[in-house]
Amino acid sequence: MALDFDNIIDADGHILEPADAWEKYIDPAFRDRALRIRKHDGREVVEMDGKISQFFDVKILTMLGAMGKSAEELAAMQDMPYPGSAPFGSMDPKDRMTQLDNEGISKAILYPSLGLTWECEVEDPALSMAYAQAYNRWICDFCSDTNGRLIAAAHISLADPAGAAIELERAVRAGAKGAFLAPYTLSRIPHAHPDHDAFWAKAQELDVPIAIHPMAEHPKIRTYQRFNGMSKAGWMQNALGMQGPQQAFYGLFQWGLFDRFPNIKAILLESGAGWIGAALDRMDTTYATTLGDNVPLKEKPSVYFKRQCWISGDPDERALAHVIDYVGNDRFFWATDYPHFDHPSNYMEELEGLVAPLSEIARNNLLGDSCASVYKL
């Protein structure tokens, strides 16, 4: 049974960027240092700032287009040049709109794939800004001729807060409807620290939402690195992938972002959503004790969440239906994560099951109305 709703919005879909996107779109002064895929000793490698990536090879990157693939198909893809066997709609905007039509989806907010790899390795703030700007130019062009159905989210690096504010404004003028941050910062200064206020002030002025989206993390800061042998624990790594974004999200409260910027709109993506009810209870409880004395908030955390925050859930989260009304039925989005490997391909079927027990208003909000309102679609 197809969902009977004409405003279904995918809050977090992905594309596979061309391997030369950064070379074509980067500031010419940084072209020789562009993110690229090139041949080295007869094999393809990921290159950043003229050096081979420490953490990524092209075989790993083929998984970014592996949604719904069997183990045998995935193994075969790893012998192909990037982007492997690119799924339909992952590299061409017209194909992506056809895919949306086939699935009954009205719009999709798009995020990178190859572009999720670099920020944990690039240490030069100027180069970080150049990489982010190059991607933002490319994704705005990719979405430009789609009648508002494919929506660009700008990648912003906080390596240079003043520069981040300038790039956010430039990207929004170019067509981006919001932006996203990595769950960490190059400087290791928390996202909501006053040192980053120039960026947050610009986001509030522009009235665009800012999301925290998972990205590749440096081994020294990965949340699961407290254990040995984790290089072989792929399932556990994936299951714990939500923890980095969660920590960044908690930091927005710890450093008092929402009182300094009472109109900022913050979103947490690709980290699940069923946990947020228990998390807000715990956040409020600790705020009410002496532990809350060092949190510069005038109200308990749940007040700010219900006023200024949203969270995206996965279609297969059966527990989510039980917390939506408790937290606030206008606080939730849903997302496909298409075409990434760590979610199943039957997301529309799963979505039907997720919304089935919801009230009509909660159902419509989750499917697209809340997302449309936040992003002003």
- pLDDT greater at residue 59 or residue 368: 368
Rounded to 5°, angle at Cα 275 from 272 and 279: 130
Q: What is the pLDDT of residue 72?
A: 81
335 to 128, 238, 290, 320: CA distances (angstroms): 27, 17, 38, 13
Q: Given pLDDT bands bounded at 50, 70 and 90, which one contains residue 56?
A: confident
Q: What is the pLDDT of residue 77?
A: 75
Nearest residue to 104 (alpha-carbon basis) of 373, 282, 355, 317: 355
Mean of pLDDT values over 9-13: 98
Question: Is the per-residue pLDDT at 174 higher than 60?
Answer: yes
Question: Is the per-residue pLDDT at 39 higher than 90?
Answer: no
Q: In the numeric block, which tokens belong to residue 14?
A: 């992905």
Query: In the chain, pLDDT over 90 holds for what percent of residues?
Result: 75
Element (H, E) at 368: none
Nearest residue to 296 (alpha-carbon basis) of 257, 256, 263, 249: 256
- What angle in degrees, to the nearest 10, is found between the helix axes of 197-206 and 161-174? 20
Q: What is the pLDDT of residue 350?
A: 95
Per CATH, the architecture of 9-17+90-375 is what?
Alpha-Beta Barrel (3.20)
Q: Given pLDDT bands bounded at 50, 70 and 90, which one contains residue 48?
A: very high
Q: Which of 24-28, 43-47, 269-273 has the lowest mean pLDDT?
A: 43-47
Q: In the numeric block, which tokens belong to residue 274?
A: 């069923």
Q: Given pLDDT bands bounded at 50, 70 and 90, which one contains residue 306?
A: very high
Strands 332-334 and 309-313: parallel
189 to 7, 193, 195, 249, 260: CA distances (angstroms): 38, 7, 8, 14, 17
Candidate ranges 33-42, 85-94, 191-200; pick with highest mean pLDDT: 191-200
Mean of pLDDT values over 124-143: 98
Q: Given pLDDT bands bounded at 50, 70 and 90, which one contains residue 21?
A: very high
Mean of pLDDT values over 20-39: 96
Q: What is the pLDDT of residue 359?
A: 96
Determine contact, residues 88/99, Cβ cutoff 8 Å.
Answer: yes
Q: Given pLDDT bands bounded at 50, 70 and 90, which one contains residue 71?
A: confident
- Average per-residue pLDDT for the chain: 92
Q: Which residues contact 162 (CB under 8 A, 6 or more apart)?
A: 198
Q: Which residues contact 175 (CB under 8 A, 6 or more apart)?
A: 140, 143, 144, 152
Torsion of CA 263, 174, 115, 134, to 10 degrees: -130
Place of tokens 């995206």: 312
**Residue 259, Cβ density class (10 Å: 0-12 exposed, 13-18 middle, ≥19 buried):** exposed
Question: Is the per-residue pLDDT at 9 higher than 90?
Answer: yes
Q: Which of 268-277, 295-304, 305-314, 337-346 has the lowest mean pLDDT?
A: 337-346
Q: Which residues contact 190 (CB under 8 A, 6 or more apart)?
A: 248, 251, 254, 255
Question: Is the per-residue pLDDT at 288 higher than 70?
Answer: yes
Q: What is the pLDDT of residue 20?
A: 94
Element (H, E) at 150: strand 150-155
Q: What is the pLDDT of residue 228?
A: 77
Cis peptide bond prior to 190, omega within 30° of 0: no
Q: What is the pLDDT of residue 220?
A: 75
Question: Is the per-residue pLDDT at 191 higher than 70?
Answer: yes
Q: What is the pLDDT of residue 224?
A: 66
Sign of CA dihedral 44, 224, 293, 209: positive
The whole-angstrom separation of Cα 169 and Cα 201 is 11
**Residue 101, Cβ density class (10 Å: 0-12 exposed, 13-18 middle, ≥19 buried):** exposed
Mean of pLDDT values over 334-352: 90
Q: What is the pLDDT of residue 1?
A: 46
Name the DSSP letter for residue 128.
H
